[in-house]
Amino acid sequence: MVRGLLPLGAALLGATAVLADGPPKCTLDKKCPKEAPCCSQYGECGVGAYCLGGCDPRMSYSLDSCVPAPVCKDKVYKMDNLDRYKDISEYLGDSSKTDWVGQGEPLLYNGNVLLTMPPKSVGTVLSTTTYMWYGKVKARLKTSRGAGVVTAFILFSDVKDEIDYEFVGVDLQTAQTNYYFQGIPDYNNSGNITVSGNTYDEFHDYEIHWTPDEITWLVDGKVGRTKKRSETWNETLNQWDYPQTPSRVQLSIWPGGAETNAKGTIDWAGGPIDWDSDEIKNFGYYFATFSEVSVECYKTDTPPGTSKGKSYYYDDVRGTNDTVVDSNKRTTLKSLLGTGTDMDKGDTTSSGKPSSTSSVNAIPGGGSTPPNQVPGGSNPSSSDGSSSGSGSSGSSTCSSEGFQQHCGEDGSSSTDNKNDGARGVDRTLGASAFAVIVGFAGLLLL
């Protein structure tokens, strides 16, 4: 039997001071304030961990508020230990010492990592500390099971490009696939792959091959679906609606069937979660099992897709592939008081753990409440999960001749570090990214 649950969120809840009214919100039209400059994947502003993985430069006070992201590294992650895992409250951006950063409660069992979701919780999410700008990623895993329980294996960028595998716990023979450009909802982007056997009882290999021209999803070495970039040109907005920016690998289990979610999300997830199920009674939590994850970086001498330097950053608020810079900029903070523009602020404690004494939020998730969402879209207003969200940050001068989207209003990229020129509408994240947007301060423990 899986061993008992460890106390959840204790380090997280004690590591940061949370303002009584909660952190400021951020959108494409409303940037973060100077005192809390970094817009996390929660759509909330803060410092410290807000400025590391998931920091959206388009919605932050300035482009350089976010800390540059570590570049892609070829690696096979054997999921037989947690030695190179850190909770988000302990990670300061050094990918040479940490492979995975996360929230929730990953556990070791029989030489594998379990991502757990105890009753009334929001589950667990792990993200690689390095970013893949095209390449191949493969995960060997067994999914969770049960109505309303969702397992996800995705690529997710700071500007919300996304490539997904998602598994709904009532359908153990299907791998759902999807992709999004900057979180723009499009319900025609999904496609299912039938999996032989049972995804809960048996390990399977799920792969994503991602190039500037094509995405291929494979299951157990066999191609299940292909999407060409040439099929994604948006004539109305003059842009490629295709994932194209450096992305972290993310593994998660999350409660699609939670009663706080919209009906469209609950229906998609297979119905309401049973927090008194046999799975909960036998183990104390729902869980997904991960055995191995491998990353192979795209090999190219010229952008897009290089990994020659130490870090990636954006030099324009459009957040397209021609605005990504492969650089040698530093990726680490001295403490959770730091930001991209003041990376040395604060210091570590004598124990070597990051300190946070600021009245500004430093760890995403503290006290926040996750929004109701459907896969890849904005907050649903109908029972079928449809959304009225639309819009884009593209401009009228993009060209479909090549993939390096020079979409500035005069045909060139702006290097202005402020986000005043961002265009478009606010969009929330996809269902697979929902596991990243969690409110750990509201966890109800066993």
Tell me which residues are annotated as active site: 162, 166
Between the alpha carbon of residue 137 and those of residues 140, 179, 261, 275, the distances in Å are: 10, 15, 30, 33
3-state helix, strand, coil in the chain (%, to 5): 10, 30, 65
Return the CA Rg of the chain: 20
Question: Which stretches does DSSP call E strand in 197-285?
Answer: 204-210, 214-219, 222-228, 233-234, 239-240, 247-255
Going by C-beta distance under 8 Å and a sequence separation of 6 or more, which residues neighbour residue 381? 387, 388
CA angle 65–49–359, rounded 5-degree value: 90
Which pairing describes strands 85-87 and 100-103: parallel, antiparallel, or unpaired? parallel
Structure tokens that stand for 412 in this block = 């060139």
Question: Which stretches does DSSP call E strand in 74-221?
Answer: 75-78, 85-87, 100-103, 106-109, 112-117, 124-128, 135-142, 149-157, 162-168, 174-180, 191-194, 204-210, 214-219
Structure tokens that stand for 356 in this block = 């946070």
Spatial distance between the Cα atoms of 422 and 100, rounded to a whole number of angstroms: 31
Q: 171, exposed or middle or buried, with CB in 10 Å at 0-12, 13-18, 19+?
A: middle
From 303, 215, 214, 249, select the one nearest 75 (Cα to Cα).
Answer: 249
From 249, 243, 219, 288, select the one nearest 137 (Cα to Cα).
Answer: 249
Instruction: Kindly report the number of other CB atoms within 10 A of residue 162's CB atom.
Output: 24
Spatial distance between the Cα atoms of 105 and 97, rounded to a whole number of angstroms: 20
Look up residue 2 and give its DSSP letter: P
